[in-house]
Amino acid sequence: MKFSNFIFVIINFKYYNYENTLFSSVLFKRRDTRVINYYIMKRKVMNKVFWILILILIYFLSGYIFHGNHLWMSFSVLFFTFFITFLFFKYNNSNVYLGLAILVLPIWILLFSISIFAGFSSSLVYLIFIPVCFYLGRLYYQNKNLGIIFLSVFLILFASQVFLPNQFNYFLNDKPFKNRPFVGFDLIDNDGKPIELPQNKVLVLDFWTTSCGVCFKKFPEFEKLFKEYKNDTKIEFYSINVPTKRDEFTKTRELVNKLGYDFQTVYAKSKNDVESKLKISGYPSFMIVKDNIIQFDGYLNINPVVLVYNSKNELEKIVK
């Protein structure tokens, strides 16, 4: 095969209607069918690989751009699922089952496999709504109806901004209604003096450690909840620091004072004591105690779009 003929193949490879170009080329006139078939097959394989990988690449790229924030990751992935599905059927003469196998199945299997080990708290929204957005993209390709676009945008917003926070909160709160006795443990106040929690009030407790980054992000929510109920004499709010081995009381107190929140912070004397008596396995841990019984033990979330185990709603139910 001459070098000039090889260059001719490479130049014409960029066109979408590649087969027609090849069959009208010098190579065809010389009946070099092996080269023709090789490049046709190579193009078809590369085309399929591209469509197989595109949603997986978008998922990881979205994770990098949005720093793992699934609210915006899910919006991006679902939007591009709709858009890429439309393009796939526009430029490929494929049936819906082949499209499903090429576009959806690879990323679905990947996310499902990851979820088996890491849990479904963040992935369920993708597993449910990626096939739905694929179907809507296919439907829009067939009908070109603007109503389908409006429906898709609404569904994507619902999935990423409503369904996902509720799903996330559901998985974080593992059977939160404990109804077990609240066992006391040693506490000190900001002055280092022993303190006891009142037993005749509803206690709203936020357990945290200095090594827990999420705990600090939850403080504004706890502050907001505290300010909403601070005039209710039946309720007491306490932020409880649980010490780690490297913590020093004076430094932790300085940190708390620097943060400047209005809710009261008290300090547990022993991490093992707290965890063994209250069965705490991770932080932050949010508890609501009434009549010396742990009524709710879960994750603090007062986002108004969250209806599943919303901390504010659960508090209102317990106070009544």
Please give the average per-residue pLDDT across 262-266, as a whole number: 93
Percent residues over pLDDT 70 in the chain: 87
Q: How far is CA 318 from CA 16, 62, 182, in A?
A: 65, 40, 15
- Provide the Cα torsion 110, 163, 301, 272; round to 10°: -30
Q: Alpha-carbon Rg of the chain, whole angstroms? A: 29
pTM: 0.77
Rounded Cα distance, 92 and 174, in Å: 46
Over 50: is that where the pLDDT of 193 sits? yes
Structure confidence at residue 9 as a pLDDT band (50, 70, 90): very low
User: What was the pLDDT predicted at 3?
Assistant: 41
Rounded to 5°, angle at Cα 271 from 259 and 177: 85
Q: Would you say residue 31 has pLDDT above 90?
A: no
pLDDT for the residue numbered 149: 95
Q: Is the pLDDT of residue 281 over 70?
A: yes
* Residue range 261-268: mean pLDDT, rounded: 93
Q: What is the 8-class DSSP label of residue 230?
A: T
> Phi/psi of residue 205, each to 5°?
-120, 135
Contact 240, 280 (CB under 8 A): no
Q: What is the mean pLDDT of the chain?
A: 86
- Give the pLDDT band (50/70/90) at residue 138: very high
- Residue 195 sits at φ, ψ, to 5 deg, of -140, 145
Q: Do the Cβ atoms of 99 and 138 come closer than 8 Å?
A: yes
Return the H-helix or E-strand segment holding 294.
Answer: strand 293-298
For the segment 33-52, the average pLDDT, to the nearest whole number, is: 73
The model's pLDDT over 71-103, given as tens digits with 9 standing for 90+, comes to 999 999 999 999 999 999 998 888 899 999 999
- Given a cut of 70, whether residue 30 has pLDDT beyond it is no
Ranges of CATH 3.40.30.10 domains, the chain: 180-319
User: 177 is written with which tokens?
Assistant: 């209604």
The superfamily in CATH containing domain 180-319 is Glutaredoxin (3.40.30.10)
